[in-house]
Structures are given as structure tokens and as C-alpha cells.
Structure 1
């Protein structure tokens, strides 16, 4: 491995270790691949179908020990009001890795007749995460942490709300609200305040037309650092025989992040829903003056909808599965 690549990985890995190591699932743009539950727990069991989703993400292609992420998620509604779900994930970033399990309980309140969409939702996710850091193969000795393999487990929680009314959808999530202390890293550099707040607003329109459109925005803020980000998204759908073709484009921009490098990303996504199956490909490219690497980030998502019920008369695709 070239020395410049080693330095890049070390710097980015320790930034993740010291500032974000105790956070749970990283927040990318894969929620646009009909996978809102990865970001917002209130999406558990929110629609007319149960959903299983598998994702595999690879970053900085061509660099050894580059970040990677794999997730397996499933959620469904039980009865008229209760939603349940779980997420398994494996996240690796240089010499740091974490594996976690998240379980979700959601409650959905229908504010109109059962076949229409006017719904308020609440959810709580509890998770157990195991973090480990492997410095045994460091080429450059680290003066702060001994060159050993260490592992610690901890618990965390997310709270979420959602409101849907016909084609309008909105979500609010507070992440990392119940973080317990641990000693994997030097406490001098660690903070237990890793709360992050996310708000998503969007509207789906064009039902019955040749094309359907779904513009949305997702805003997030990190309490400790004051960092703010916004995703500006557009998604387009087209029905073809027994399939639905769709494409999405997302632009993530950072705002007022004093003292840190502004990070901006563009993410095109393409996918197809065939009967109860879904497959999509996501490509993310960083833009700006300082780039970690010229390569992009690649992700494949696979999905299966199960135990589908009769669709409601209106609602975004997260409420009404395509087929």
C-alpha cells in the first residue's frame, strides 16, 4: 500500500473513531432505494407490504481497507396499528469496525377511514453494537492507543415520528438518545453527546399519469459539532408491464460547518421493481476542493415485499408498494 493511502486511511479512521465511533448505522442515500426504514424507525410497518432489504456498499474503490457497509433489514405491520422491524449491519472503516442489531417497535394511528392515507406514527428503536479497533497491523505506530485489538459493546436508542397524508410524507428522527459510556477509546477524546436529528419532507404526485414524481428533502443536524447537512432529492417512476422503472438523484450539501471541510456529494440511483422484487444500483461521488479519492462509492440493494395487503386509495410508494 502506498504511504499516501495509508495516511488517508489513518486520518479518516481516527476521525471516525474519535468523533463518530459510537454512532450506529451510517446515513447515506440508500433510503431512496425504497429503504426509508434504514434512516427513520417510524417507517417500520408503515406500508401495505412487509419489506426485506439487503444492501452492500463499497467506498473508495481500489484502496485497501476502504470503508464498507452491509445491512439486512426487515419490517412489517402486525394487525392494524403495530409495526415491528430489525436491522443487522456490519460497518468497517479502516482499522475500526462495528456490528450491530437494531429492533424497532412502531405504532401507527389512522386519522381517517382505513382505505385512505392520513396517518400519524411513532417509533422507538433499541440497538446493541459491538465496536472493535485493530491496530496490530499499523505501519505507523500510534502514540495514543496501544497497537492491540480491542472490543467493547454498548447500547443506544433512536426515536422517530412520521405523518402521511395522501401523497405528502414527513419523518422526524432523533438518533443516539440513550448512549451509555464505554472505554474503547481514550475518554479524553470521546464524547457521549452524539445526538443527531433528521427531518424528511416530500410529496408524491402523478398517480395514473405516464410518469410519477417524488421530490423530497432530508435535513440533518449534529448537536455536538453543529454540523448541518441537507439532501435535495428527486425520484421519477414509470410503470412498464409487470415492472416499475425508477431513477433518483440526490445532492447532499453541508452548511455552516465552521472548522470542518464542507462535504458535498452527488448520488444518482437507478432501480427496478418487478412484481414483489426490487434491485437498485447507487453511485456516489464527492465534489469540492478537497477529495479523499477520485473514485466513487458503489452500492447494490436487493429487496423483497411480502404479505402484501390491498393498497390504499392514495399515498407515496412507501405506503403503497408498487405491485
Structure 2
């Protein structure tokens, strides 16, 4: 199969593909990793459905992430979410959230819609501790655009002739506990999308492919430490496991000034929890370096917040791209006829 001559930017993209294949060759490279926002620390419903309703007010957030800026076909992700309580004026037991995401990576795309429900158990008389059980159900539309691949030979059976799509239903489950001083949660995401038994694309009689996301388990935890009057420290961690590639660990720390301005950073790296199949078979050890992040959030008003983060890549990709930018906008809306008993820092 012949292709047109490539330019400098295309060469960079080829280098990226080679790097990804080298990292993923020992295991299934046709499965996508889950979308992850650096600013999940401000709204964790994207990684745990039991978080729905945690703020005990109706809250909406828009997020935009541009990853590996400067590379053609690099990931572009958008998120829209709304969550709150169905019984805000009474027992505050029932949280509900809706989440829409769209993600593009070269010729691949995945657009999802989920509805999350959380049942929230009150654990003390002061109502400062809750244990939530959450479930989410949704659907993802996976797409593959063969026209982006731009082959010279028309009708090449290796390349789909046009854009093809398929829908895959999915469910997720989570548990989330919090009190004014610390929180912890665990969730299982993409329970159905992780099933690799059936391919989701077929564009001729012989060619199939599978790019659905893998099943993931997340563990998150964090704390709130009072340093002085008006100054707090909020450390947190997120552990992500897909049982195939390296385990991912996020470590973050945010300083909170006057409950209005947050600033801090994070470090994302790989850790070895147990030996994976690709390590046992090949003896390969992938680089654990990933990225460092700078993160800030400002409450413009008590109801409106703006967040920004920048990720600097530590791996060999740093030479062919200009980092990742992420912007979020959050707003509290609806009736506020009852004061939240403790400020929501998690």
C-alpha cells in the first residue's frame, strides 16, 4: 500500500504512533485508555458515579482538554456534566448526575453519555459523614474515519472507505466516603466496554477491528489539612489499574487560600503493583515517567469557578509536542434555600 510523501508534522505523528506501538505491543494495542482529566480533583463524578450529589447543590461543569499540543491528531477531549440531589430539601439521600464526553485521537473517536445515581447513607447526627453507593449506565459511540488515513490506493481493504460507527452500552459502579477531613473511593469503570469477545467494527467481509476502552478500577483518596487561618492544604491521590499496562498513579497537592483560590500541582507516573502478562512474557519494563502538572482554580463568585491546568510530559514525547492544556468552568445553580453544613473541598 503506497502513501503520499509525508511532511514534518506527519513525521512527528508517525513517531508518536511508533512510540505507542512500542509501549503497547506486548498487550492489546487496539483498546483505548479511559479519558482522564487532570482537574478530576474538582469534580470526581467522571471517575466515580457515587460522587453524584456530593456537593449537595446542583452543579454544572464544562471541561476542555487539548493534549500533546503541536501534534496532528493528538487527543482532544470535552466534558459536560451536571449533578445534584433529588431530595435536597429533606434527607439528601439520592444523588443524580448526567455526563457527556467526546474524545478524538487521530481517526478514532468516542462519544459517551452516562446517567449516574448515588444512594447516600447518613453516618452521624451532624450529617458531616456520608457513605455513597453509585451506579452509572450509558452508551458510547465509537467511530473510525478511514478518510483521515488518506491512502493513495482506493479500495484498500485494510482501510475503511469512510467513517464507520458503532454503539456500545456500558455500566459503572462506585463507592465513595467522605467527612470534613478526608475522603476515599473506589470504582469500576467500563464494565461492558472492557469485554473484548466481540469486535465492534466490520467494513468488509474480512476486516474487523476493536478500539473500545478497557475495563478500569480506580482508587482515590485525599485529605484536608488546616495550615493557618484561611490557608489549607489538600493532598490527594488517584490509582488507575487496567490489568494490562502499567498501573498509573496521580499524586496531587493543592493550597487553598481564603476558600476561593486554589493552586498546586501534580505528578503522574507508573507504579508496579503486580507483574503483568506483558512483563512475564517479554520481560519488558516500560518507562514509568509520565507528566507533571500545574493546577489552579479561582472562585470568581461563590457560584462560579474557573480552573486551568498544564501538563508537562516527562517521557520522550516531550521533544515533539508542547504539553497539554485543560480549562474547566463550573457553576452552582438552582435554589439555595439551605446552607451546606460543611464547605465542599473534595
TM range (shorter): 0.7 to 0.9
Give the match for residue 257 of structure 2.
Answer: 238
Give the match for residue 82 of structure 1.
Answer: 94
Structure 2 residue matching 1:47: 3-state secondary structure: coil
C-alpha distance in structure 2 between counterparts of 1:55 and 1:261, whole Å: 29
Matches within 5 A, 1:1-323: 1-2=7-8, 3-8=10-15, 10-11=17-18, 18-21=29-32, 26-32=35-41, 34-79=42-87, 80-113=92-125, 115-139=126-150, 144-179=158-193, 181-184=198-201, 190=210, 194-206=214-226, 209-223=229-243, 225-239=244-258, 244-256=260-272, 258=279, 259=284, 260-273=286-299, 274-289=301-316, 291=318, 293-307=320-334, 308=336, 309-312=338-341, 314=342, 316-318=344-346
Structure 1 residue matching 2:260: 3-state secondary structure: strand
Structure 1 residue matching 2:130: 3-state secondary structure: strand
C-alpha distance in structure 1 between counterparts of 2:43 and 2:139, whole Å: 21
Return the offset for 1:263: 4.1
Q: Is the 8 A contact 1:216 1:233 kept in 2?
A: yes
Q: Is the 8 A contact 1:204 1:213 kept in 2?
A: yes
Q: What is the number of residues matched between the two proteins?
A: 309
Q: How large is the RMSD of aligned CA atoms in angstroms?
A: 2.9
Return the offset for 1:63: 2.7
Q: Is the 8 A contact 2:70 2:321 kept in 1?
A: no
Q: Is the 8 A contact 2:78 2:103 kept in 1?
A: yes
C-alpha distance in structure 1 between counterparts of 2:329 and 2:192, whole Å: 31
Q: Is the 8 A contact 1:96 1:132 kept in 2?
A: yes
Structure 1 residue matching 2:55: 3-state secondary structure: coil
C-alpha distance in structure 1 between counterparts of 2:44 and 2:212, whole Å: 26
Tell me: CA distance 1:303–1:112, structure 2 relative to 1, closer, same or farther (3 Å): same
C-alpha distance in structure 2 between counterparts of 1:244 and 1:195, whole Å: 36
Q: Which runs of 5+ in 2 are unaligned?
A: 1-6
Cα distance per residue 1:55-110 (max 9 Å; x no partner): 11112223333210011001001112000001111111011111110110110000
Return the offset for 1:119: 1.0
Tell me: CA distance 1:137–1:29, structure 2 relative to 1, closer, same or farther (3 Å): closer
C-alpha distance in structure 2 between counterparts of 1:5 and 1:235, whole Å: 34
What TM-score does the superposition give when structure 2 sets the normalisation length?
0.80
Tell me: CA distance 1:249–1:6, structure 2 relative to 1, closer, same or farther (3 Å): closer
Structure 1 residue matching 2:192: 3-state secondary structure: coil
Return the offset for 1:6: 3.7
C-alpha distance in structure 2 between counterparts of 1:78 and 1:137, whole Å: 44
Return the offset for 1:183: 2.3
Return the offset for 1:139: 4.2
Higher Rg: 2
Q: Is the 8 A contact 1:13 1:94 kept in 2?
A: no
C-alpha distance in structure 2 between counterparts of 1:271 and 1:88, whole Å: 22
Q: Which runs of 5+ in 1 are unaligned?
A: 319-323
Tell me: CA distance 1:154–1:166, structure 2 relative to 1, closer, same or farther (3 Å): same
Structure 2 residue matching 1:136: 3-state secondary structure: helix
